[in-house]
């Protein structure tokens, strides 16, 4: 018996105990039985030929498992990987039993599932970011929620140390919250504009300004939490975009929360002062987590379109 035969035949016999259950054999018909027989006889090429003509009614997972086993026995590793990728894409929940399949195939299949999950998560995040950057905030919020759901589904598959997906949970939550804040801000502006005519001019200015200013402060904090330099500059135009990007690139994650926010609108109604405490927690890429709480003062100005922007921070 050749070396591949010594390794694979016992595994095949174990596999057949499960894959040859009476109900399954009837569903597959004679074609998959013939594949099994050829595989057990170490006629791997013949088994592959038979698989090419296996009816679509045969369980795909069973057929593709045999295909992968035959290809592995023949040393055609690239084709094994292609087969496993197709199997994972068709049924991501499919799990091979360590008691029924050789360890090498188990490892290759686990890697195929990890790569599949990684590709899905990174693509979903990229699409959500496109929506956010285009200002489609309702859509972006839903898409970032979808990314988080996807990451939760594949939590046991994805490697937490994998740089491609490691930061996606934090970033997705940050951008989702920021998108929600943008939607809330737009709704507050619309509501204030609608209510203004029903009030006197003096009565309408202060409540409307306070709502809008607090919304801007929340957006500012969420932009820092999302490590999005562009979003920071949209509410604080004089911030240095290049320096912000460099600072954010040195962080793995960050959470910023404005506490004790108080707003004082100037009598003329075009400027305001915001007092608050910044509670920040930053995780650098190198070093320990940093926690800071410090008082801050923001100067706000009303722009020509009626929205509010930060013009200075102390």
Q: Of 32, 66, 101, which residue sits at a domain end?
A: 101
End position of a domain, from candidates 101, 122, 146:
101
Residues near 122 by Cβ (< 8 Å), separated by ≥ 6?
164, 165, 168
Specify the number of domains making up the chain: 2
Angle at 14 between CA 12 and CA 15, to 5 degrees: 60
Instruction: Look up the domain containing 206 and give its range.
Output: 201-313
Q: What pLDDT, on the 0 to 100 scale, is given for residue 69?
A: 86
Residue 192 belongs to a domain:
no
Give the phi and the psi of residue 53 in degrees, each rounded to 5: -110, 15
Give the whole-angstrom CA distance, residue 48 versus residue 210.
Answer: 71
pLDDT of 121 reads: 87
Q: Does residue 280 lie in a domain region?
A: yes
Assigned domain for 61 exists? yes
Residue 17 lies in a domain: yes
Q: Is 25 helix (H, G, I), strand (E, B) or coil?
A: helix
Where is 298: in which H helix or E strand?
strand 290-302
Decide if pLDDT at 96 tops 70: yes
pLDDT at 194: 62
Instruction: Average the pLDDT over 9-14 and give the result.
Output: 38
Domain end call among 101, 125, 145: 101
pTM (two decimals): 0.54
Tell whether 223 is covered by a domain.
yes
Q: Whole-angstrom Cα distance, residue 226 to residue 228?
A: 5
> Residue 122 falls within a domain, yes or no?
no
State the Cα–Cα distance between residues 258 and 235, nearest whole angstrom.
Answer: 15
Distance CA 133, CA 111 (A): 33
**56 pLDDT tier (thresholds 50, 70, 90):** low
Helix/strand/coil (H, E, C) string of 134-173?
Answer: CCCHHHHHHHHHHHHHHHHHCCCCCCCCCCCCCCHHHHHH
In a domain, residue 174? The reply is: no
Quote the mean pLDDT of the chain.
78
pLDDT tens per residue across span 107-164: 888 888 888 888 888 899 889 888 888 888 888 888 888 888 888 888 877 866 666 7
Q: How many other β-carbons are positioned within 10 Å of the β-carbon of residue 189?
A: 18
CATH code for the domain of 229: 3.10.450.50
The DSSP result for 226-265, as a single string, is: TT-HHHHHHHSTTS-HHHHHHHHHTEEEEEEEEEEEEEEE
Mean pLDDT calculated for residue range 64-84 = 87
Each residue of 275-309: pLDDT tens digit? 999 888 888 888 888 888 889 999 998 887 777 88
pLDDT at 190: 67
Report the pLDDT value the prediction gives residue 58, as an integer from 0 to 100: 56
Q: Is the residue at 304 inside a domain?
A: yes
Which candidate, 231, 275, 272, 278, places its Cα nearest to that of 258? Answer: 278
């Amino acid at each position: 018996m050749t070396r591949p035969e010594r390794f694979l035949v016992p595994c095949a016999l174990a596999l057949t105990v499960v894959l040859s259950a009476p109900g399954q054999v009837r569903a597959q018909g004679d074609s998959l039985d013939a594949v099994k027989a050829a595989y057990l006889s170490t006629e791997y090429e013949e088994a592959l030929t038979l698989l090419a003509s296996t009816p679509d009614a045969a369980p795909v997972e069973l057929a593709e498992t045999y295909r992968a086993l035959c290809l592995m026995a023949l040393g055609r590793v690239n084709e094994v990987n292609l087969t496993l990728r197709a199997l994972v894409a068709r049924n991501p929940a499919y799990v091979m039993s360590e008691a029924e399949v050789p360890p090498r195939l188990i490892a290759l299949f686990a890697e195929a599932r990890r790569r599949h999950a990684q590709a899905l998560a990174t693509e979903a995040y990229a699409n959500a970011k496109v929506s956010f950057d285009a200002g489609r905030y309702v859509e972006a919020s839903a898409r970032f929620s979808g990314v988080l759901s996807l990451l939760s589904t594949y939590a046991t598959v994805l490697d937490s140390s994998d740089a491609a997906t490691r930061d996606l949970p934090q970033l997705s939550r940050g951008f989702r919250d920021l998108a929600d804040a943008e939607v809330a801000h737009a709704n507050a502006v619309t509501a204030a504009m609608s209510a203004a005519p029903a009030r006197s001019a003096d009565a309408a200015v202060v409540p409307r300004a306070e709502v809008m200013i607090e919304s801007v402060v929340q957006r500012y904090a969420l932009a820092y939490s999302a490590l999005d330099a562009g979003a920071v500059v949209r509410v604080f135009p004089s911030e240095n975009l290049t320096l912000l990007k460099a600072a954010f690139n040195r962080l793995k994650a960050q959470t910023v929360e404005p506490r004790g926010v108080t707003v004082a609108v100037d009598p003329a109604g075009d400027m305001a002062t915001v007092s608050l405490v910044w509670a920040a927690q930053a995780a650098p890429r190198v070093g320990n987590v940093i926690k800071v709480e410090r008082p801050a003062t923001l100067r706000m100005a009303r722009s020509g379109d009626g929205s509010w922007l930060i013009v200075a921070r102390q």
